[in-house]
Every structure is written in C-alpha cells, then in structure tokens.
Amino acid sequence: MENIAQIEGLLFIAGDEGISIADLARITGFMKPAVNELLSRLKTKYQEDEQSALTLLNSGEVFRLATKAELAPVMKTYFEIPLTTSLSQAVLEVLAIVAYKQPLTRLEIDDIRGVQSSGSLQKLVVRGLVQTHGRLEVPGRPFRYVTTPAFLDYFGLESLEDLPPLAIDLTEADLDGDVFLRALQSRNQEQMGED
C-alpha cells in the first residue's frame, strides 16, 4: 500500500477530531519529516484535483479531512434534510450506543459498530439528540458524547433510568450496535402496544 494512502486512511478514520503528526508517525512508523512531506503531497493533490470534494485542514500539528468550502451549500442541505425524516437504522444505532454507554468518544462508537460513525453522530448533534460533553484526556483530546433532554423527549423517557434494560448475560463481545438497537426498538414496540 502506498505511504500516502496510509496517511489518507488515518485522516479519514480520525474524522472531525483530526490526528496529530506525532500520532501519524507513531501509527505508521514513518519519521515526522516523512509524514510532513506526505501531508504536503496530499494537500496539493486535493487542491489540484477539481473532481475531489476533499481538502486537508490543520490546526497546529493536528490535521483533518474536510469538504471543500464551495460544497458548503450541499453539505448544509445534507444535514438539514434529516430533520424532517425519521432516524435511519445507522443513526438510531449510534444513538442507542451513546444512550447506553455515555459518555463516550466517536472512536469508541466506531469500535463498537465496526464502521465509521462521524456522519451519523453529526446528524444526531444537528437534531439536538446528542451533544458534546467535555473531552477525553488522551492525545488528540477527542470529544465525549452524551444524550440530551431532547433525546428523552423523542423516546418518551423521563430519565436515562427508563431505558429498557439490556440482557443480563451479555459479554463484552455481545455489545455491538444491534444489541442496543434491539433494546430501543423493543421498548418502542411495547409503547405502541400500550396505545
């Protein structure tokens, strides 16, 4: 695999929290000057490719991928449209994980789901169902996410203690997104049966 592809992949996985040059060097085994050169090449590649939607941003020594500024109207629409529709399976899965495991970082959510969750998480933040709640004191200082009072209202809960219990005999290996999703769906079906 190309060295630049490794850097690009790590930037993608890091999402909106970004990743430092030091972490890129540590993970890839490349020297920091090599990482800087690869980041410079990647930035040039995005700038010169008019067909690419991506750009490389940095704050100090932390880099992240973002969409080019000229795409802002389309991206804004993407996040506004879900406000009038029901929650998708993926978004509901992320919401359920946050509800049961909060506070947790996006990387912890990704680890449970096995896929990248930043888009779903951003939709939940826009809808006001999830919010940031401080940062984890580790390199990169990722945001920690928790549910909001609007989450409780959305599901008709008075408090988090009203969440349906998860099966008692679950092991860590069983804690995938489907487990959380089934618990929330089960509670919703029970409520619909009572109406």
User: What CATH number should be reported for the domain holding residue 12?
Assistant: 1.10.10.10
Do 32 and 97 lie in one domain? The reply is: no
Last residue within a domain, chosen from 39, 67, 95: 67
Region 61-87: what's the mean pLDDT?
Answer: 78
Percent of residues in the chain assigned helix, strand, coil, to nearest 5: 60, 15, 25
The tally of domains found in the chain comes to 2
At 147 the pLDDT is 93
Strand order of the β-sheet with 62-67 is 19-20, 62-67, 54-59
At 190 the pLDDT is 63
Do 109 and 133 lie in one domain? The reply is: yes
Q: Quick check: 76 pLDDT over 90?
A: no
For 20, 79, 87, 97, 177, the CA distances from 130, given in Å and listed in that order, are: 26, 14, 13, 11, 16
Range of the domain at 132: 76-194
At 75 the pLDDT is 80
Residue 179's pLDDT band (cuts 50, 70, 90): low
Do 63 and 80 lie in one domain? The reply is: no
Residue 181 · residue 92 · CB < 8 Å: yes
* Most confidently modeled range among 88-92, 135-139, 143-147: 143-147
Do 175 and 112 lie in one domain? The reply is: yes
Q: Quick check: 106 pLDDT over 70?
A: yes
pTM for this entry: 0.56
Do 34 and 102 lie in one domain? The reply is: no
Residue 147 · residue 134 · CB < 8 Å: no
